[in-house]
Amino acid sequence: PGESLEGTPLGPDLRAICTGLSFCANLNLFPLVGNPRLQSERTTSYEVGLLAEIGDDYGLSVVAYSKDQTGLTGARRGGVLPNGVPINDPGETYGTTRPAYYVLVNTDYQTVRGIELGLSRRLRGFWGFSLNYSYSQAWTNAAPPDLEVQKIYEGDPPAFTEIRSEIDVPHLASGTLRFYAGADVPDVPFGSLLKYTGLTLTGRYQSGFVYTPQFLRIVNANTIQDANRGDRNSGTSPAIYSVDMYLEKAFQVANLRYGAFLRVNNLFDFKTCAQVYPTSGRCNVGAVSSDRSITQGFQNGSPGATTIVSGLGAGTPNTAFDRPEMFSDRRSITAGLKVSF
Q: Does the pLDDT of residue 293 top 70, yes or no? A: no
Q: What ranges do the domains of the chain cover?
A: 41-340
pLDDT, position 223: 61
Q: What is the separation, in whole angstroms, between the first and last Cα of the chain?
A: 56
User: Is the model more confident about 304 or about 173?
Assistant: 173
Q: What are phi and psi of 280, to 5 degrees?
A: -130, -20
Q: Is the pLDDT assigned to residue 63 strictly greater than 90?
A: yes
Burial class for 160, CB neighbours closer than 10 Å (0-12, 13-18, 19+):
exposed
Cβ neighbours, 10 Å, residue 70: 14
Does 69 score more than 80 pLDDT? yes
Q: What is the pTM of this model?
A: 0.76
* Nearest alpha carbon to residue 14 among 289, 27, 79: 27
Q: Which pLDDT score, from 0 to 100, does residue 286 have?
A: 74
User: Which class for 276: exposed (0-12), middle (13-18), buried (19 or more C-beta within 10 A)?
Assistant: buried
pLDDT of residue 302: 31
Q: What is the mean pLDDT of residues 36-52?
A: 94
